[in-house]
Structure 1
């Protein structure tokens, strides 16, 4: 079984009228690679309606499981200012293969479990106080979740909520091989390297080491831990778990080519089960 892995498509920013769309290119490359399933670790677009349309287009074109967890951008209300974040989260669950609804069994032995996750500031440098981090602003630069999400919970509470939800599902499937998917990162190997004063602050909003602790606790079951959010393409292994962060990212960050098909050809990672 061949599984494709990609995150952070940002189609509303990357699509250009003069060439194939990101979704069309992903369909083409997925067929070339003969995928049996595709895992998308969030941030398709800045508008949940655009994300939903893209997901349904992928699903109907490929006719394979196209498993998805939302990213923070998918949940932004920039185009729907009267909507609360939980409402957008629920709207995204209208997509059939959204993992926030339930785990997905790939086979008798393999299951995919996932959700967005959230951050709890613990990847920030310890020199910053909680009050400073809660401002989500440094030198007039703002982490935009501050303006475009409204969870009605503190972020540490939200991080714990998603962790508990994931652990409950992991326990139910502990006898199987698990692929765990979050949008935010679970390990410090995926944060922006420091010393860098700006990112020593903004690393606060990239994820939580508590997800890494959860993965370690169930490492005999969790074979892969997939994330996005940081626009890296990086893989490493700890114990029995392979950690994957694999993003398309913004066009200006593309590594191999400014042509969408060529970049996705290189960016789309596959794992064989």
Structure 2
């Protein structure tokens, strides 16, 4: 089976680079078809509104026969246009969709399964000596704010949400038995996938890039691929146990050139399993 990985496509902020007469879904679908991808792992941040994100998935399904699996990113939980203020309802909205692996592992075969959840940030990758938990809870620093502060409403603290999502991941890990696991989260859960410290800005803002408390999952479960997003860079790291991947399309301002299809082709990572 040939598997493709991509995340952080941000179709709303990247809409100006979509050629006239085409759609983002058509362009991504064309790449899936050309590369003969059988399973797409879409690791979050399709857009900054949950209904627009789901509409994109529905359109993409009409462009390809490729199976699509998805975990929402932090932006997918936003509702800037539709006014939903209860993020838990958005979580349940996505959970009910057939493409979602929220609390629903996807069994590929007797050997392999996909387990996934958005994951949330626990502040663990920031400088905890320079800043306090209360500093991070404010989600605001002198250079600006982390915008989930305004658009995400779990009605409990970030660390509690991170723990809740980790518990869901572990439940799903147990459910797939001894199969080899492709784990898909939106947030980073490996120190090589956040910004190296010290850093003038990310000493603080690394708090919102991932969860160091998730790392223990690697030691307990047979995770062979760890798919992440969120960080807006592209990186592959391999060790003796597994392969770690971020394949973030990111914002057009980060691209070397502005051709959307070429950039998708450069971004998407593929691998094969039997």
Q: Structure 1 length normalisation: TM-score?
A: 0.95
Q: Distance in 2 between matches of 1:202 and 1:85?
A: 22
Per-residue deviation, 1:238: 3.3
| 1:157-184 deviation per Cα after TM superposition (whole angstroms, max 9, x unaligned) | 1111111111111122241111000000
User: What is the match of residue 194 of structure 1?
Assistant: 197
After the TM superposition, which residues 122-271 of structure 1 pair with which residues of structure 2 at under 5 Å, given as runs?
122-126=124-128, 127-218=130-221, 221-255=222-256, 257-271=257-271
Q: Check the 8 A contact 2:188/2:228 in 1, yes or no.
A: yes
Q: Check the 8 A contact 1:77/1:84 in 2, yes or no.
A: no
Q: Distance in 2 between matches of 1:244 and 1:87?
A: 29
Q: Check the 8 A contact 2:25/2:63 in 1, yes or no.
A: no
Q: Check the 8 A contact 2:11/2:46 in 1, yes or no.
A: yes
Per-residue deviation, 1:140: 4.5
Q: Distance in 1 between matches of 2:254 and 2:88?
A: 31
Per-residue deviation, 1:37: 0.6
Per-residue deviation, 1:101: 4.2
Of 32-41 and 8-17, the range deviating more from structure 2: 8-17
Structure 1 pair 173–94 and aligned structure 2 pair: CA distance change class (3 A): closer
Of 75-84 and 261-270, the range deviating more from structure 2: 75-84
Of 95-104 and 183-192, the range deviating more from structure 2: 95-104
Q: Check the 8 A contact 1:55/1:95 in 2, yes or no.
A: no
Q: Distance in 2 between matches of 1:214 and 1:61?
A: 35
User: What is the match of residue 99 of structure 2?
Assistant: 97
Of 206-215 and 14-23, the range deviating more from structure 2: 14-23
Per-residue deviation, 1:190: 0.7
Per-residue deviation, 1:93: 2.9
Q: Distance in 2 between matches of 1:159 and 1:57?
A: 31
Structure 1 pair 18–36 and aligned structure 2 pair: CA distance change class (3 A): closer
After the TM superposition, which residues 56-135 of structure 1 pair with which residues of structure 2 at under 5 Å, given as runs?
56-126=58-128, 127-135=130-138
Q: Distance in 2 between matches of 1:224 and 1:92?
A: 23
- Count residues with an aligned counterpart: 270
Q: Distance in 2 between matches of 1:235 and 1:133?
A: 29
Q: Distance in 2 between matches of 1:93 and 1:83?
A: 17
User: What is the match of residue 15 of structure 2?
Assistant: 15
5+ residue gaps in structure 1?
none
RMSD: 1.4
Q: Check the 8 A contact 2:38/2:66 in 1, yes or no.
A: yes
User: What is the match of residue 51 of structure 2?
Assistant: 49
Of 223-232 and 102-111, the range deviating more from structure 2: 102-111
| 1:69-101 deviation per Cα after TM superposition (whole angstroms, max 9, x unaligned) | 000000012223343101111122343110114
SS of 2:91 mapped into structure 1: helix
Q: Distance in 2 between matches of 1:190 and 1:113?
A: 20
Q: Distance in 2 between matches of 1:222 and 1:82?
A: 35
Q: Check the 8 A contact 1:9/1:22 in 2, yes or no.
A: no
Of 201-210 and 232-241, the range deviating more from structure 2: 232-241
